[in-house]
Protein backbone atom coordinates (compact mmCIF):
# COMPACT_ATOMS: atom_id res chain seq x y z
CA UNK A 1 0.00 0.00 0.00
CA UNK A 2 1.27 3.49 -0.83
CA UNK A 3 2.02 5.80 2.06
CA UNK A 4 -0.33 8.38 3.53
CA UNK A 5 -0.97 10.21 6.78
CA UNK A 6 -3.79 8.94 8.95
CA UNK A 7 -6.12 10.72 11.30
CA UNK A 8 -9.22 9.60 13.20
CA UNK A 9 -11.04 12.76 14.27
CA UNK A 10 -13.07 12.58 17.48
CA UNK A 11 -15.75 14.99 16.32
CA UNK A 12 -17.54 15.56 13.08
CA UNK A 13 -16.64 19.24 12.99
CA UNK A 14 -12.99 18.18 12.84
CA UNK A 15 -13.85 16.10 9.77
CA UNK A 16 -15.38 19.16 8.07
CA UNK A 17 -12.23 21.14 8.86
CA UNK A 18 -9.87 18.44 7.58
CA UNK A 19 -11.82 18.06 4.35
CA UNK A 20 -11.77 21.84 3.86
CA UNK A 21 -8.01 21.96 4.45
CA UNK A 22 -6.95 18.90 2.45
CA UNK A 23 -9.73 18.95 -0.13
CA UNK A 24 -8.89 16.50 -2.94
CA UNK A 25 -5.84 15.26 -1.03
CA UNK A 26 -8.09 13.82 1.66
CA UNK A 27 -9.84 10.47 1.50
CA UNK A 28 -12.59 9.45 3.90
CA UNK A 29 -12.31 5.93 5.34
CA UNK A 30 -15.47 4.29 6.67
CA UNK A 31 -15.86 0.50 6.48
CA UNK A 32 -12.87 0.20 4.18
CA UNK A 33 -14.25 -2.71 2.13
CA UNK A 34 -13.86 -0.76 -1.13
CA UNK A 35 -11.16 1.72 -0.17
CA UNK A 36 -8.56 -0.75 1.06
CA UNK A 37 -8.77 -2.69 -2.18
CA UNK A 38 -8.43 0.57 -4.11
CA UNK A 39 -5.43 1.77 -2.08
CA UNK A 40 -3.55 -1.46 -2.75
CA UNK A 41 -3.85 -1.25 -6.53
CA UNK A 42 -0.46 -0.48 -8.07
CA UNK A 43 -2.13 2.19 -10.22
CA UNK A 44 -3.73 3.90 -7.22
CA UNK A 45 -3.08 7.57 -6.65
CA UNK A 46 -2.51 7.73 -2.95
CA UNK A 47 -4.34 10.34 -0.85
CA UNK A 48 -2.15 12.56 1.37
CA UNK A 49 -4.49 12.15 4.29
CA UNK A 50 -6.82 9.30 5.16
CA UNK A 51 -9.59 10.60 7.42
CA UNK A 52 -11.00 7.67 9.39
CA UNK A 53 -14.58 8.38 10.40
CA UNK A 54 -15.36 4.77 11.33
CA UNK A 55 -15.65 5.47 15.04
CA UNK A 56 -17.87 8.58 14.91
CA UNK A 57 -20.94 7.13 16.62
CA UNK A 58 -23.11 10.12 15.68
CA UNK A 59 -22.85 8.95 12.06
CA UNK A 60 -24.26 5.51 12.86
CA UNK A 61 -27.79 4.24 13.34
CA UNK A 62 -31.30 3.91 11.95
CA UNK A 63 -34.08 6.10 13.32
CA UNK A 64 -37.81 6.08 12.69
CA UNK A 65 -39.73 9.36 12.49
CA UNK A 66 -43.46 9.82 11.96
CA UNK A 67 -43.30 9.87 8.16
CA UNK A 68 -39.78 8.93 7.27
CA UNK A 69 -36.80 6.77 8.15
CA UNK A 70 -33.31 8.15 8.69
CA UNK A 71 -30.18 6.08 8.12
CA UNK A 72 -26.82 7.48 9.16
CA UNK A 73 -24.03 6.71 6.71
CA UNK A 74 -21.86 4.53 8.97
CA UNK A 75 -24.71 2.07 9.46
CA UNK A 76 -23.35 -1.28 8.31
CA UNK A 77 -25.15 -3.64 5.96
CA UNK A 78 -25.54 -6.03 8.91
CA UNK A 79 -27.19 -3.24 10.96
CA UNK A 80 -29.69 -2.75 8.11
CA UNK A 81 -30.34 -6.50 7.89
CA UNK A 82 -31.11 -6.65 11.60
CA UNK A 83 -33.31 -3.54 11.70
CA UNK A 84 -37.04 -4.03 12.33
CA UNK A 85 -37.67 -0.49 11.05
CA UNK A 86 -36.11 -1.33 7.69
CA UNK A 87 -37.92 -4.66 7.56
CA UNK A 88 -41.23 -2.87 8.05
CA UNK A 89 -40.79 0.27 5.98
CA UNK A 90 -38.22 -0.65 3.35
CA UNK A 91 -38.19 -4.42 2.90
CA UNK A 92 -36.60 -4.17 -0.54
CA UNK A 93 -33.56 -2.45 0.99
CA UNK A 94 -33.24 -5.33 3.43
CA UNK A 95 -33.40 -7.81 0.53
CA UNK A 96 -30.76 -5.87 -1.38
CA UNK A 97 -28.38 -5.69 1.55
CA UNK A 98 -28.70 -9.42 2.24
CA UNK A 99 -27.09 -10.06 -1.17
CA UNK A 100 -24.07 -7.81 -0.64
CA UNK A 101 -20.68 -9.55 -0.36
CA UNK A 102 -20.40 -11.94 2.57
CA UNK A 103 -21.15 -11.72 6.30
CA UNK A 104 -17.64 -10.32 6.85
CA UNK A 105 -18.19 -7.61 4.21
CA UNK A 106 -21.67 -6.82 5.52
CA UNK A 107 -20.30 -6.51 9.07
CA UNK A 108 -17.83 -3.89 7.97
CA UNK A 109 -19.18 -2.21 4.82
CA UNK A 110 -21.43 0.81 5.33
CA UNK A 111 -24.42 2.13 3.43
CA UNK A 112 -22.74 5.54 3.17
CA UNK A 113 -19.64 3.98 1.67
CA UNK A 114 -21.72 2.04 -0.82
CA UNK A 115 -23.42 5.27 -1.95
CA UNK A 116 -20.32 7.48 -2.02
CA UNK A 117 -18.18 4.91 -3.84
CA UNK A 118 -20.93 5.02 -6.48
CA UNK A 119 -20.00 1.85 -8.34
CA UNK A 120 -22.65 0.96 -10.93
CA UNK A 121 -23.15 -2.35 -9.10
CA UNK A 122 -23.77 -0.73 -5.68
CA UNK A 123 -26.76 -2.66 -4.37
CA UNK A 124 -28.10 -0.17 -1.81
CA UNK A 125 -28.58 2.61 -4.36
CA UNK A 126 -31.43 1.33 -6.59
CA UNK A 127 -33.71 0.41 -3.63
CA UNK A 128 -33.02 3.75 -1.95
CA UNK A 129 -33.75 5.53 -5.21
CA UNK A 130 -37.02 3.61 -5.57
CA UNK A 131 -37.82 4.75 -2.03
CA UNK A 132 -37.36 8.42 -3.11
CA UNK A 133 -34.42 8.83 -0.74
CA UNK A 134 -32.66 12.13 -0.09
CA UNK A 135 -29.02 12.44 0.93
CA UNK A 136 -27.68 15.14 3.23
CA UNK A 137 -24.21 16.56 2.61
CA UNK A 138 -22.37 18.69 5.14
CA UNK A 139 -19.21 20.76 5.09
CA UNK A 140 -17.70 23.80 6.84
CA UNK A 141 -19.87 25.88 4.56
CA UNK A 142 -23.15 24.37 5.73
CA UNK A 143 -25.44 21.60 4.58
CA UNK A 144 -27.65 20.67 1.66
CA UNK A 145 -30.09 17.89 0.90
CA UNK A 146 -30.23 16.36 -2.55
CA UNK A 147 -32.69 13.82 -3.97
CA UNK A 148 -30.73 10.68 -4.68
CA UNK A 149 -32.02 10.72 -8.23
CA UNK A 150 -29.95 13.90 -8.83
CA UNK A 151 -26.93 12.79 -6.84
CA UNK A 152 -24.97 10.64 -9.29
CA UNK A 153 -23.05 11.87 -12.31
CA UNK A 154 -21.58 8.65 -13.68
CA UNK A 155 -20.04 5.47 -12.25
CA UNK A 156 -17.74 6.40 -9.33
CA UNK A 157 -18.75 10.06 -9.47
CA UNK A 158 -21.32 12.01 -7.48
CA UNK A 159 -22.11 15.72 -7.22
CA UNK A 160 -20.63 15.84 -3.69
CA UNK A 161 -17.81 18.34 -3.37
CA UNK A 162 -14.42 17.24 -2.08
CA UNK A 163 -15.06 19.20 1.15
CA UNK A 164 -18.45 17.58 1.71
CA UNK A 165 -19.36 14.50 3.69
CA UNK A 166 -22.54 12.43 3.54
CA UNK A 167 -24.23 12.68 6.95
CA UNK A 168 -27.70 11.23 6.45
CA UNK A 169 -29.93 9.26 4.10
CA UNK A 170 -33.68 9.60 4.61
CA UNK A 171 -36.74 8.33 2.80
CA UNK A 172 -40.53 8.36 3.28
CA UNK A 173 -41.87 5.20 4.89
CA UNK A 174 -43.45 2.80 2.46
CA UNK A 175 -47.16 2.51 3.24
CA UNK A 176 -48.35 -0.93 4.36
CA UNK A 177 -50.39 -1.21 1.18
CA UNK A 178 -47.25 -0.98 -0.99
CA UNK A 179 -45.35 -4.08 -2.06
CA UNK A 180 -41.67 -3.93 -2.84
CA UNK A 181 -38.98 -6.27 -4.03
CA UNK A 182 -35.31 -6.39 -4.96
CA UNK A 183 -34.03 -9.13 -7.22
CA UNK A 184 -30.48 -9.53 -8.33
CA UNK A 185 -28.73 -11.49 -10.97
CA UNK A 186 -25.23 -12.48 -9.92
CA UNK A 187 -22.87 -15.22 -11.03
CA UNK A 188 -23.30 -17.09 -7.75
CA UNK A 189 -25.07 -16.67 -4.42
CA UNK A 190 -22.41 -15.39 -2.05
CA UNK A 191 -19.91 -12.65 -2.91
CA UNK A 192 -21.71 -11.90 -6.14
CA UNK A 193 -21.32 -8.56 -7.88
CA UNK A 194 -24.62 -7.47 -9.44
CA UNK A 195 -24.73 -8.12 -13.19
CA UNK A 196 -28.27 -6.74 -13.13
CA UNK A 197 -30.79 -5.99 -10.43
CA UNK A 198 -34.34 -4.69 -10.26
CA UNK A 199 -35.87 -2.69 -7.45
CA UNK A 200 -39.62 -2.37 -7.79
CA UNK A 201 -42.43 -0.89 -5.73
CA UNK A 202 -46.12 -1.33 -6.56
CA UNK A 203 -49.09 0.15 -4.80
CA UNK A 204 -52.65 -0.75 -5.70
CA UNK A 205 -55.89 1.10 -5.03
CA UNK A 206 -58.86 -0.45 -3.23
CA UNK A 207 -60.27 -1.37 -6.61
CA UNK A 208 -57.14 -3.35 -7.45
CA UNK A 209 -55.72 -0.96 -10.03
CA UNK A 210 -52.07 0.06 -9.92
CA UNK A 211 -51.79 3.46 -8.28
CA UNK A 212 -48.07 3.88 -7.98
CA UNK A 213 -45.19 2.07 -9.66
CA UNK A 214 -41.48 2.58 -9.33
CA UNK A 215 -38.84 0.63 -11.20
CA UNK A 216 -35.10 1.17 -10.76
CA UNK A 217 -32.67 -1.22 -12.48
CA UNK A 218 -29.19 -1.69 -11.05
CA UNK A 219 -25.93 -2.20 -12.97
CA UNK A 220 -27.79 -1.51 -16.22
CA UNK A 221 -27.37 2.21 -16.92
CA UNK A 222 -24.45 4.63 -16.90
CA UNK A 223 -26.29 6.22 -13.98
CA UNK A 224 -29.27 5.02 -12.00
CA UNK A 225 -32.72 6.21 -12.91
CA UNK A 226 -36.36 5.38 -12.49
CA UNK A 227 -37.82 4.04 -15.71
CA UNK A 228 -40.82 6.36 -15.88
CA UNK A 229 -41.77 5.12 -19.36
CA UNK A 230 -42.41 1.66 -17.91
CA UNK A 231 -43.97 3.03 -14.72
CA UNK A 232 -46.50 5.00 -16.79
CA UNK A 233 -47.52 1.82 -18.63
CA UNK A 234 -48.55 0.31 -15.31
CA UNK A 235 -50.40 3.16 -13.62
CA UNK A 236 -54.19 2.90 -13.68
CA UNK A 237 -54.03 -0.66 -15.05
CA UNK A 238 -55.14 -3.96 -13.63
CA UNK A 239 -52.11 -6.16 -12.81
CA UNK A 240 -51.58 -9.01 -15.25
CA UNK A 241 -48.77 -11.13 -16.59
CA UNK A 242 -49.03 -9.45 -20.00
CA UNK A 243 -48.93 -5.98 -18.47
CA UNK A 244 -45.84 -6.85 -16.42
CA UNK A 245 -44.18 -8.42 -19.47
CA UNK A 246 -44.88 -5.23 -21.46
CA UNK A 247 -43.35 -3.14 -18.67
CA UNK A 248 -40.30 -5.40 -18.76
CA UNK A 249 -39.89 -4.96 -22.49
CA UNK A 250 -40.19 -1.20 -22.08
CA UNK A 251 -37.37 -1.20 -19.50
CA UNK A 252 -35.24 -3.24 -21.90
CA UNK A 253 -35.95 -0.78 -24.73
CA UNK A 254 -35.07 2.23 -22.53
CA UNK A 255 -31.85 0.54 -21.38
CA UNK A 256 -30.69 0.03 -24.96
CA UNK A 257 -31.58 3.61 -25.88
CA UNK A 258 -29.06 4.70 -23.21
CA UNK A 259 -26.30 2.13 -23.49
CA UNK A 260 -26.47 1.32 -27.20
CA UNK A 261 -25.77 -2.21 -28.34
CA UNK A 262 -22.63 -3.60 -26.74
CA UNK A 263 -21.19 -7.07 -26.23
CA UNK A 264 -23.47 -7.84 -23.28
CA UNK A 265 -26.69 -6.54 -24.88
CA UNK A 266 -27.65 -9.83 -26.48
CA UNK A 267 -27.88 -11.27 -22.99
CA UNK A 268 -29.11 -8.28 -21.02
CA UNK A 269 -31.92 -7.30 -23.42
CA UNK A 270 -34.20 -10.32 -22.77
CA UNK A 271 -32.95 -10.91 -19.22
CA UNK A 272 -33.74 -7.45 -17.86
CA UNK A 273 -37.27 -7.73 -19.31
CA UNK A 274 -37.80 -11.03 -17.52
CA UNK A 275 -36.32 -9.70 -14.26
CA UNK A 276 -38.72 -6.74 -14.34
CA UNK A 277 -41.68 -9.04 -14.97
CA UNK A 278 -40.63 -11.33 -12.13
CA UNK A 279 -40.10 -8.38 -9.79
CA UNK A 280 -43.54 -6.96 -10.56
CA UNK A 281 -45.13 -10.38 -10.11
CA UNK A 282 -43.37 -10.67 -6.74
CA UNK A 283 -44.93 -7.32 -5.76
CA UNK A 284 -48.43 -8.75 -6.10
Partner 1 sequence: MKKVTIHTSINRKQYVLEIKPNLTLLSLLREEIGLTGTKCGCEVGECGACTVLLNGTAVNSCLVLAPQIDGQEILTVEGLAMGNQLHPLQESFLTHDAVHCGFCTPGMLMSAKDLLDHNPDPTEEEIRIAVSGNLCRCSGYQQIIDAVQNNNVPPLKG
Which part of the chain contacts partner 1 (CB under 8 A), choosing from 46-54, 64-72, 131-139, 157-165?
A: 46-54
Question: What's the rounded Cα separation, in Å, for the pair 43 and 32?
Answer: 18
By CB under 8 A, tell whether 225 contacts partner 1: no
| Shortest spacing between CB 85 and partner 1, in angstroms | 20
Task: Name which position in 11, 45, 63, 102 contacts partner 1 (CB under 8 A).
Answer: 102
Q: What span, in angstroms and rounded, lies between the C-alpha atoms of 98 and 83?
A: 12
The rounded radius of gyration (Å) of the Cα atoms in the chain is 19
- Residue (37 or 209) nearer to partner 1, CB: 37
Instruction: Name the segment binding partner 1 (CB under 8 A); options: 4-12, 130-138, 140-148, 163-171.
Output: 4-12
Taking the complex as a whole, how short is the minimal distance between the CB of residue 98 and partner 1, in angstroms? 9
Q: Are 185 and 195 in contact (CB under 8 A)?
A: yes
Provide the 8-state DSSP code for 194.
Answer: P
What is the nearest approach in angstroms of partner 1 to the Cβ of residue 49?
A: 10
**What CA–CA distance (Å, rounded) separates 211 from 177?**
11
Q: Is 262 exposed, middle or buried (0-12, 13-18, 19+ CB in 10 A)?
A: exposed
Residues 6+ apart with CB under 8 A from 106: 76, 77, 78, 81, 97, 100
**Nearest approach, Cβ of 3 to partner 1 (angstroms)?**
4
Of the ranges 30-38, 141-149, 155-163, 220-228, which one interacts with partner 1 (CB under 8 A)? 30-38
How many residues of this chain interact with partner 1, rule: CB under 8 A? 30
What CA–CA distance (Å, rounded) separates 132 from 226? 10
Question: For partner 1, which is the closer residue by CB, 81 or 183?
Answer: 81
How far apart are the C-alpha atoms of 127 and 124, rounded to whole Å? 6
| By CB under 8 A, residue 1 contacts partner 1 | yes
Question: Under the criterion CB under 8 A, does residue 105 sit at the interface with partner 1?
Answer: yes
* Residue 238 contacts partner 1 per CB under 8 A: no
Residues binding partner 1 (CB under 8 A)? 1-6, 8, 29, 31-33, 36-37, 39-40, 50, 52, 54-55, 78, 101-105, 107-108, 189-191
Amino acid sequence: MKSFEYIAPREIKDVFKLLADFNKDAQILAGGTDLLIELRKPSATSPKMVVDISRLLELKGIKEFSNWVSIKPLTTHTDILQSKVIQQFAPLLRQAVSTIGSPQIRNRGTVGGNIMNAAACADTVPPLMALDAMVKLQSVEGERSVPMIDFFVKPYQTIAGKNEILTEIRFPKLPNSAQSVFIKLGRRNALAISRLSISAILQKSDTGLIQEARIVPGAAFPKWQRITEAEKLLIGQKPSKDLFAAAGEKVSEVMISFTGRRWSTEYKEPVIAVLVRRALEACQ
